[in-house]
Chain A
């Protein structure tokens, strides 16, 4: 194994057990559970999906082995937690969207933009304006009441915002784009190829990759004992100031496909792949 920048553990979501009694009721019901993020489910290494499949359907009688808490009570309490957690989530989302963009408010939940309360910074000087806004708000509230009734009544159940608002898809989990031979995000990388043979090079980088800070440990074949291609470097061209990868393919390189991982020099995190095909 060749040397490479070191890999760091990610921080865990938590580092201690949750011994709360209420935890009992918050299993899958909590909307903050990561599994509700649709994009994560398609991640091929998702442990849970495979794991459950391996175990087969859970036996329904297990619950009875443990607590005497009736099914009725469990459902009722789970329901209640789901409702309040959803509400908290809505509030957070609304606060977040206010933080992100003063003018855009979350639909349904807390349309505070109507009061023009910009930002969280709450400087004390703002209070006069805030009070004025609030007076206007309150004075419109009461008549609003009845008119809101009429408008909301028909769409009572549609009052909550769409579930996926504010959730970004994880870029790594996106399926491969068929036919995209090179993905050029931002500045394209110039390929300088020195080869006596017919050779094709494909580079895939994730969008966040900083093209001026890349490295790879060589291109390897899955054919056993096949020599790797090691003569390649990522540099920044001093004239054009553009990223360049220089590759030299030895004359005796066997025909085949060679792959390598492109990593970020600083963090060691993978940034993409490079594929080189030596044709016959």
Chain B
């Protein structure tokens, strides 16, 4: 009876739906010329693999309502494609060097080519959404389109918010600021959009999408905090560099907390370190921040935060899903909450 023995169901379904999505996704990737400078790059991230959490959530939600896999597959592909397109941009803007265990696209090919590939991938992600019209009918397809429009804007705003904080070296933030940013930057694409459109597809447009906003937000926020935590503790197997977020100056819950906990003199030091760009920061600066985070219990604090939000996510799950009959997909969605917070 070990608590860490989380369900086998989550990896099982991620694998299953992930494979289906990937297979379908290949159909949409252009295979024509020019390959070397464009389409190979476009296909690079999607084919590197990944957890496939976003498309799986979408498919599982639709199926929990009784829809077939094929009803949701195109939308799932679109989500995954757009996610990868945004990753290319994120990596450029964050100055990240590794992605899924390999150098980032712009490190390999340079920023102009990577940017261009990202834009193209964004366009490609639209194609499965257009294809929805044939399977789901105009009205549902239109609603999904509107949702994706809202999601894309929210993601852009969220990314802008965070980059703005970095650019102006804003550190005096609170948890609500952080959550507002995460809601837009992460949750919309990662969780809110997949469950909302999944519910749209499954209920043929009848579901009350607000309750899925709540569930998606709490699940996504838990996911993001856990993601940031893993970045600090994980080793290479996670596929990113260690302490990468600190090098990049990313505004995480731990950093925000640290700033509030530090005495004034140390706050100034933190501000100074954060002011420079990635290349100006020294290894000893990063090590100091990391040590202060430990000293002030920031990591514990964020971990607890993730647990609280996971608890609320479970509650919101019951609000949004309790009226649906029990099913494998429904259980998967519930167990996702625990998986998100316990994965390592």
Cβ-closest chain B residue relative to A146: B93
A20 in contact with B146 (CB, 8 Å): no
Q: How far is the CB of A67 from chain B (nearest CB, A)?
A: 13
Residues on B with beta carbons closer than 8 Å to the beta carbon of A146: 93
Closest to B314 in A: A21
Among A72, A125, A134, A156, the residue within 8 A (CB) of B304 is A72
Q: Are A154 and B164 in contact (CB under 8 A)?
A: yes
| CA–CA, A25 and B125, complex, Å | 38
A165 interface hit (Cβ, 8 Å): no
Which residues of B lie under 8 Å from residue A72 when comparing CB positions? 304
Query: Contact flags (1/0) for B177-191 with A, using CB distance below 8 Å?
Result: 101100110000000
Is A54 an interface residue when CB atoms closer than 8 A count as contact?
no
Flag whether A135 is at the interface (Cβ < 8 A): yes
Which segment, of B10-18, B29-37, B151-159, faces chain A? B151-159
- Listed stretches A33-41, A83-91, A183-191, A195-203; interface member: A83-91
Do B183 and A135 touch (CB < 8 A)?
no
How far is A156 from B177 in the complex, measured between Cα atoms in Å? Answer: 10
When C-beta atoms are compared, the residue in chain B nearest to A80 turns out to be B179
Which among B137-145, B239-247, B258-266 touches the partner chain? B137-145
- Is A55 engaged at the interface, CB distance under 8 Å to the other chain? no
Is A5 among interface residues, defined by CB-CB distance under 8 A?
Answer: no
A79-B165 contact in complex given A21-B315, A124-B142, C-beta closer than 8 Å:
no
Whether B119 and A139, one on each chain, are in contact in the complex, defined by CB atoms closer than 8 angstroms, is: yes
Minimum CB–CB distance from B199 to chain A (whole Å) comes to: 15
Binds A, one of B59-67, B102-110, B213-221, B274-282: B213-221
- Segment from B20-28, B45-53, B305-313 that makes contact with A: B305-313
A75: chain B residues at CB < 8 Å are 175
A149-B164, A152-B164, A159-B157 given as contacts; is B137 within 8 A of A117 (CB)? no
Q: Please indicate the chain B residues that have their CB under 8 angstroms from the CB of A149 in the complex.
A: 93, 159-160, 163-164, 167
Q: Which residue in chain B gives the minimum CB-CB distance to A72?
A: B304
Number of CB contacts from chain A to chain B under 8 A: 145
Q: How large is the interface on B (under 10, 10 to 19, 20 to 34, 35 or more residues)?
A: 35 or more
Q: Measured between alpha carbons, how far is A137 from B164 in the docked complex, in Å?
A: 23
A91 to B147, CA, bound (A): 11
Contact of B69 with A by CB under 8 A: no
Report the bound CA distance from A146 to B111 in whole Å: 13
User: Do the beta carbons of A156 and B183 come within 8 Å of each other?
Assistant: no
Q: In chain A between 101 and 153, which residues have their CB closer than 8 angstroms to a CB of chain B? A: 110-112, 115, 117, 122-127, 130-131, 134-135, 137-139, 141-146, 148-149, 152-153
Q: Is B118 part of the contact surface with A, judged by Cβ < 8 Å?
A: yes
Chain B residues with Cβ below 8 Å from A152 are 157, 160-161, 164
Partner of B119, one of A79, A126, A127, A142: A142
Binding site for B on A (CB under 8 A): 20-22, 25, 72-73, 75-77, 79-84, 86-88, 91, 110-112, 115, 117, 122-127, 130-131, 134-135, 137-139, 141-146, 148-149, 152-154, 156-157, 159
Interface residue ranges, B against A (CB under 8 Å): 85, 89, 93, 115, 118-119, 122-123, 125-126, 129-130, 133, 137-139, 141-143, 145-146, 148-150, 152-154, 156-157, 159-161, 163-165, 167-168, 170, 174-177, 179-180, 183-184, 210, 213-214, 217-218, 221, 304-305, 308-309, 312, 315-316, 319
A-B contacts, 12 of them at CB < 8 A, read A79-B175, A79-B176, A110-B150, A124-B142, A126-B142, A134-B129, A137-B152, A141-B152, A142-B85, A142-B118, A142-B122, A148-B156
